[in-house]
């Protein structure tokens, strides 16, 4: 019997999905699900939702819930993390302050000024969780779903020895989208994908062993398909390889789409799939959820239980390592130790990894296409610098990391970036005590 601990279990959608995924593997059905969250109201509802899943599936599992992290981690075999540090009242500044200076952000949870300040708030908590794991469950696997993925992953791996991998669903979801466009069963699609989180590219994408890129290029002539992912399809047409994360996200990772109002109107306002490219899309989603989350929690206790297993990686990894041992290859986020030759050593990369009873075996990719490595390298170095700043409390390095962000540097001068960063630090000062020091003393 395995013990799987969810930190940030109040993230209802993820917890419900991942618990269902885990328990539908027969070899994991007797597991103990330990739920931990600091919000008692959410935790109580999520526990009831998991109890409904167990009852509906007639699983021989059990569930416990606690607000005590040490208690939740004691004896865990795997820890799944889905936390959010700070609510919408602080997250909104990550989006709204850059906009005041001219940096138009769609999501803001991954990189750039918004992603970096989200990382600064979250890294201390993530590192504390990992250090608690070293104390209470040193052999456990740490599966992280929290963003910003690259910076959190690097921070945890730079400061602890936990068995860590960062997980995102953009690789398999994009592959499913491309298969749908091709009219191909996903079981007949194979690919090699690598890069950094949300900026990984398929160096190979094959249908029954045949290169599918020529067919995909032809499909770009279909306005329905082209308009479904305007930004990503433009990147594909000009860069020759398909990128993993949605158009809304990718529009803010480079200098091509959001630096002028006419470009935003042309590429970022229409036809961007599930994630519209307009300004502050995710912030507006957060604001809506803040008003409705109690109703959503209540509804979750009445909705039919769906026992269909998703394509999220976590359960397949746990089954490979602790269940029936079926090998599973996935794309995960870990520090680069020679896996991608033309990205910086020690930066966080997203690469194929084999999960088995022996643990994680990263697969060496070699070189990314060189022009793609240039783009990924810029972000990888910015993010490594931001992590160093977070771990040392160095405001100057935060500023310098944001200076090199492609969208920010395309829009603002150095002096303007400095003013923007100063303002972001001011509104975040209660959340960033490591930076509030004079002469080594916290003030």
**198 in a labelled binding site:** yes
Pairwise CA distance, residues 163 & 353, whole Å: 13
Give the Cα-Cα-Cα angle 141, 83, 312 (nearest 5 degrees).
60
CB-based contact 365:332 (threshold 8 Å): no
The residues facing 36 across adjacent strands are 7, 66
Question: What would you report as the CA-atom Rg of the chain, rounded to the nearest whole angstrom?
Answer: 21
Tell me the DSSP string of 292-320.
HHHHHHHHHTTSPP-----S-HHHHHHHH
Which of 93, 169, 249, 379 is catalytic? The answer is 169
Tell me the DSSP string of 381-395.
HHHHHHHHHHHHT-H
Q: Which residues of 390-404 are buried (b: 16+ CB within 10 A; e: fewer)?
A: bbebebebbbbbbbe
77, 280, 82, 85: which is closest to 168 by C-alpha? 82
Crossing angle of helices 395-403 and 370-392, in 10° steps, is 160
Residue 337, number of CB atoms within 10 A of its CB = 12
Pairwise CA distance, residues 43 & 9, whole Å: 7
**193 in a labelled binding site:** no
Alpha-carbon torsion 249, 252, 257, 262, what sign? positive
Contacts of 80 (CB under 8 A, 6+ apart): 4, 5, 6, 7, 18, 143, 144, 145, 314
Alpha-carbon torsion 196, 197, 202, 207, what sign? positive
Tell me the DSSP string of 121-189.
HHHHHHHHHHHHHHHH-TT-EEEE-PSSHHHHHHHHHHH---EEEE--SHHHHHHHHHHHHHT--GGGE
Pairwise CA distance, residues 436 & 426, whole Å: 10
SS3 of residue 276 by DSSP: coil
Q: Answer yes or no: 169 catalytic.
A: yes
Annotated binding residues for Mn(2+):
168, 198
Annotated binding residues for substrate:
147
Annotated binding residues:
147, 168, 198
| Catalytically annotated residues | 169
């Amino acid at each position: 019997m395995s013990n799987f601990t969810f930190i940030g279990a109040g993230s209802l959608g993820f917890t419900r999905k991942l618990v269902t995924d885990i328990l539908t593997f027969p070899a994991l059905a007797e597991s103990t699900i330990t739920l931990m969250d600091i919000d008692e109201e959410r935790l109580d509802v999520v526990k009831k939702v998991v109890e409904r899943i167990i009852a509906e599936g007639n699983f021989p599992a059990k569930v416990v819930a606690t607000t005590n992290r040490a208690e939740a981690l004691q004896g865990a075999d795997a820890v799944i993390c889905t936390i959010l540090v700070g609510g919408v009242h602080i997250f909104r500044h990550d989006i709204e302050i850059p906009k005041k200076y001219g940096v138009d952000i769609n999501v803001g949870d991954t990189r750039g000024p918004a992603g970096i300040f989200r990382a600064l708030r979250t890294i201390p908590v993530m590192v504390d969780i990992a250090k608690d794991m070293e104390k209470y469950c040193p052999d456990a696997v740490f599966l992280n779903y929290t963003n910003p993925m690259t910076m959190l992953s690097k921070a945890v791996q730079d400061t602890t020895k936990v068995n860590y991998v960062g997980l995102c669903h953009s690789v398999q979801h994009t592959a499913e989208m491309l298969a749908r466009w091709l009219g191909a069963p996903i079981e007949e699609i194979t690919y090699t994908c690598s890069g950094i989180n949300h900026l990984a590219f398929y160096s190979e994408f094959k249908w029954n062993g045949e290169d599918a890129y020529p067919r995909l290029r032809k499909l770009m002539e279909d306005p329905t398909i082209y308009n479904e992912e305007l930004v990503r399809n433009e990147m594909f047409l000009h860069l020759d390889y398909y990128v993993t994360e949605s158009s809304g996200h990718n529009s803010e990772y480079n200098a091509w789409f959001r630096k002028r109002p006419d470009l935003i109107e042309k590429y970022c306002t229409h036809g961007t799939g599930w994630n519209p490219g307009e300004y502050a899309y995710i912030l507006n989603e957060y604001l809506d959820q803040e008003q409705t989350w109690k109703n959503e929690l209540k509804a979750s206790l009445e909705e039919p239980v769906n026992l269909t297993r998703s394509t999220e990686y976590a359960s397949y990894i746990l089954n490979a390592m602790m269940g029936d041992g079926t090998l599973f290859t996935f794309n995960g986020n870990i520090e680069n130790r020679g896996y991608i030759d033309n990205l910086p050593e020690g930066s966080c990369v997203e690469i194929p990894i084999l999960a088995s009873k022996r643990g994680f075996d990263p697969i060496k990719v070699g070189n990314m296409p060189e022009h793609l490595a240039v783009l990924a390298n810029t972000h990888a170095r910015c993010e490594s610098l931001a992590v160093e700043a977070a771990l040392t409390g160095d405001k100057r390095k935060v500023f310098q990391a944001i200076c090199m962000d492609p969208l920010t540097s395309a829009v603002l001068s150095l002096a303007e970036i400095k003013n923007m960063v100063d303002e972001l630090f001011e509104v975040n000062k209660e959340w960033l005590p490591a930076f509030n020091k004079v002469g080594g003393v916290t003030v």
